[in-house]
Structure 1
Amino acid sequence: MIVLSPSILTADFGNLQEEVEKAVRGGCDWLHLDIMDGHFVPNITIGPMIVKALRRYAAIPFDVHLMVENPDGLLKLYADAGADIVTVHQEASGCRHLHRTIQHIKELGLKAGCAVNPGTPVELLEPVLMDLDMVLIMTVNPGFGGQSFIPSTLHKIARLRAMAEKWKPDLLIQVDGGINAATCESVIQAGANVLVVGSAIFDGVDPEGNVRKYKALLERRED
């Protein structure tokens, strides 16, 4: 099964509840929540209060992506806010002890993910791969929505899939950045099984219909 996790980064923040409800009605599997601190990336987005508020309108897994320098002090806040999966960045200065951070996420009863930027080799994750539930391969440089897919990241997806077959066959491989109808097939073929789709869903026109379109596309592929 290919999981569709719409990112609210490009949603209408003035009508965020409605945007989320539309995506849920469309049948999305998860909801992707990008948390940015203005340090690890130049942008600032939402905090745990917003995540907690949205939790009332979506009974699906919340996929929380921490693009922050020091995630450890925030993990319980997002667990309490309603996160189901928390992903931290291998490159963050506060993840020097990555194994410890992963264990902390799991102790909170959450699934643990680790993200790598386009310039970071996936091989750096081999020592912790068996402890992870998911790896997020950024297919754009993080910090802003609406960017174009970086084609060279396909090789990283394929390398990670080969590593997973050896060390962690049930690993979820998530991709985020420039994922749309033109790129989703290539990332799935490379080995991804969780697609984060942002601007192609929340285009200001029909989020519910867009989710239905992508779900139908993925279901046809699975058949």
Structure 2
Amino acid sequence: MEVKVLPSLLSADFLNLRDDIVRMESAQVDMFHLDVMDGQFVPNISYGLPLIEAIRRGTDAPLDVHLMTEDPEQFIETLGEIGVDMVSFHIEATAHAHRLVKYIKAQGMRAGIALNPQTPIIQVTHLLGDVDYVLIMTVNPGFGGQSFIDAGIDKIKELSAIRSEKNLDFEIEVDGGINDETAKHCIDAGATLLVSGSYLFKARDAKEMVQLLRGQHEG
């Protein structure tokens, strides 16, 4: 599968958000990653549906929404109406994960399941035939700029082995501490969707960084 780079807008300059979106589009990113936090499931609050709707109007790039919230079901219909392309929710946040996956797909979006660093893969193996992607958190969710948790590599490898063994086609997304070094480890382990925040937004040449992230599987 082709490696895709997703800048996390949590690391953008919110006073100049449109400029940052245009800058990332010029860097030829594949889509944008949006973290929705409710101050309950995670200790931070990020942004809500009105801002996502504004971002949708401001870019033609696909939008990947990561719900770090309790009761993720409440947002799905509106996200579909806004025109979001991908939605992931946390297995730890709902008692009805399979039903929610079906609900997301019914709204015309790709469905993903996310796991906190301490949550083992076995918690989502029953969903792997139904989801479009699995999001492995390689930092504790809630804040940007954290260091990569190495144990996430083993989880990516485990997922990749299951995918091959059962001939499934879900993608593996990784979020947290992604730079050119950690990206290589993730890609080698089987990841294809790389979420990167401060590494991209603080770069003098974001396009070069995007190419670096994509190229980590070569040679």
TM-score (norm 1): 0.93
Match of 1:45 in 2: 46
Q: Where do 1:170-209 residues align within 5 Å?
A: 170-203=169-202, 206=204, 209=205
| Unaligned runs of at least 5 residues, structure 2 | none
Residues 1:183 and 1:220: Cα distance change in structure 2 (over 3 Å) = closer
Match of 2:145 in 1: 146
Cα displacement (A) at 1:212: 3.6
Residues 1:130 and 1:97: Cα distance change in structure 2 (over 3 Å) = same
The reply to whether residue 210 of structure 1 matches residue 206 of structure 2 is: yes
CA contact (8 A) 1:137 1:176 kept: yes
Distance 2:216 2:155 in 1: 26
Q: Identical aligned pairs, as a percentage?
A: 43
Distance 2:102 2:80 in 1: 14
Match of 1:160 in 2: 159
Distance 1:183 1:211 in 2: 18
Match of 1:78 in 2: 79
Cα displacement (A) at 1:119: 0.2
**Greater mean deviation of Cα atoms: 113-122 or 13-22:** 13-22
Which letter does structure 1 place at the counterpart of 2:30?
Answer: D
Distance 1:211 1:141 in 2: 27
Cα displacement (A) at 1:169: 3.0
Residues 1:221 and 1:64: Cα distance change in structure 2 (over 3 Å) = same
TM-score (norm 2): 0.95
Distance 1:81 1:202 in 2: 25
| Unaligned runs of at least 5 residues, structure 1 | none
Distance 1:60 1:51 in 2: 13
1:145-181 superposed Cα distances (whole Å, 9 cap, x missing partner)? 0000001111111001111112353211000000001
CA contact (8 A) 2:129 2:168 kept: no
The reply to whether residue 169 of structure 1 matches residue 165 of structure 2 is: no
Cα displacement (A) at 1:58: 1.5
CA contact (8 A) 2:180 2:212 kept: no
Match of 2:89 in 1: 88
Cα displacement (A) at 1:42: 0.7
Distance 1:55 1:110 in 2: 14
Cα displacement (A) at 1:220: 7.1
Name the count of aligned residue pairs: 218
CA contact (8 A) 1:140 1:149 kept: yes
Q: What SS does structure 2 have at the residue aligned with 1:149?
A: coil
Match of 2:69 in 1: 68
Which letter does structure 1 place at the counterpart of 2:84?
Answer: A
Distance 2:215 2:188 in 1: 15
Cα displacement (A) at 1:218: 1.8
Residues 1:124 and 1:17: Cα distance change in structure 2 (over 3 Å) = same
Q: Considering only aligned residues, what root-mean-square deviation do their CA atoms show, in Å? A: 1.5
Cα displacement (A) at 1:56: 2.1
Which letter does structure 2 place at the counterpart of 1:109?
Answer: G
Cα displacement (A) at 1:82: 2.3
